[in-house]
Amino acid sequence: MVELKTDTQIDAMREAGRVVAQALTAVRDHAAVGVSLLELDEVAREVLDKAGAGSPFLHYQPTFATTPFPAVICASVNDAIVHGIPTADRLRDGDLVSIDCGALLDGWAGDSAISFVVGRARPEDVTLVETAERALAAGIGAAVVGNRIGDIAHAVGRLCRTAGYGIPQDFGGHGIGRRMHEDPGVPNEGRQGRGMVLRHGMVLAIEPMLIGGGKDDYHEAPDGWTLRTNDGSRAAHAEHTVAITDAGPRILTTL
């Protein structure tokens, strides 16, 4: 069931989204060669704590996971697409890092992700990250009243495919509100004019995931969470929480 949010509730979600944006900004500012992924998780925890917010990631255990998630961020490096568990591993020059973070504030959730390169970036990694961001922007642009879920999926998927990238088929965006994951699902590839009609008050997490090698294949790492590309190519992830409104899409996870 899809819960339509009131304008007041969307404003409350905006505050949760602001905390997420602050956490991601702090993590990105702290990320550098030699910094551990656990340190980045601690940076995000401090931002959440200061804001009086909780984490929807910490101890989260969906049906596909054999163990609860142990951190407040997902830190996915290089060939890790999403759901990377922060470890003591330290960042190296040229690493491509995707950070996904959420916040729970006053009963409402926010969810967002960014990708960036630490140190000297390979041109192909810069292009991959920029394409993920453009795919996210395309999806947001299609998130208007009267369109359908398939229009968002088509906008994201067309841009990714035209650029030659792969798309992991079983994971995508989702509704969000009082819980991090709500109906409806928001695929990263689909047909225009198909799926649920978008209405004022729907709030969606739109999140393109791109595989640099061009194929869609991936596998789950032994930790039970991290999804890695089968061909070892690098991946990028971008995400915003977006409210569908009569005035157009409203991004809730910005500063």
Query: What's residue 16's pLDDT?
Result: 98
Query: What's residue 140's pLDDT?
Result: 99
Instruction: Indicate the pairing of strand 173-175 with strand 203-206.
Output: antiparallel
pTM reported for the whole predicted model: 0.98
Percent of all residues in the chain with a pLDDT value above 90, rounded to a whole number:
99
Positive or negative: CA dihedral 141, 142, 146, 149: negative
Token pair, residue 227, equals 């999804």
Distance, CA of 145 to CA of 180 (rounded, Å): 22
pLDDT in tens, 202-248: 999 999 999 999 999 999 999 999 999 999 999 999 999 999 999 99
Query: What's residue 128's pLDDT?
Result: 98
**Residue 62: burial class (beta carbons within 10 Å; 0-12, 13-18, 19+):** exposed
Is residue 215 within 8 A of residue 230, CB to CB? The reply is yes
Distance, CA of 234 to CA of 32 (rounded, Å): 19
- Write out residues in the chain with pLDDT < 50, as ranges: none
Instruction: Indicate the pairing of strand 80-82 with strand 227-229.
Output: antiparallel
Query: What's residue 64's pLDDT?
Result: 86
**Residue 152: burial class (beta carbons within 10 Å; 0-12, 13-18, 19+):** buried
